[in-house]
Amino acid sequence: MAVVGADTHQTLSGISSGSSDGLETALGLREADRKFSGLDARTFALVKIAALIALDAPPASYAWQIANGLEEGVTPEDLVGVLRAVAPQVGGPRTVAAAAEIMVSMGLPFDEEG
């Protein structure tokens, strides 16, 4: 096992759990990235969510980005629209997996069949 300092361990733990403080520190300021893109905050959030779907991102990434999106005015209906828009490019398995992660991120229960 590698010897890791307490600060490094805490930073990695924060990033892996989707802690916004850890992510902001590690990845830079989200607002600066958005301004550089030229997109409004809502569109920026939707594009980031679409990228997570395409990348088959881990659950912590969804939790953080969905929360950011909802804060920027993204609606659950918008999220369904993103899933429908990217499904032909990313395929069924990634779309199904992303739908589940989006539901979990919004605190929605799965139905009996899901």
For the stretch 86-107, pLDDT in tens is 999 999 999 999 999 999 998 9
Q: Where are the domains of the chain?
A: 6-106
- In the chain, the percentage of residues whose pLDDT exceeds 70 is 78
Cβ(62)–Cβ(102) below 8 Å: yes
CA distance 71 to 83: 19
| CATH architecture of the domain formed by 6-106 | Up-down Bundle (1.20)
pTM flag (> 0.85)? no
Is residue 26 scored above 70 in pLDDT?
no
Taking CA atoms, 111 is separated from 39, 57, 100, in Å, by 36, 23, 11
What does the angle CA 92 – CA 93 – CA 95 come to, to the nearest 5 degrees? 65
CA distance 20 to 69: 13
Per-residue confidence (pLDDT) for residue 74, from 0 to 100 = 95
Q: Which of 35, 9, 34, 30 is nearest to 20 (CA)?
A: 30
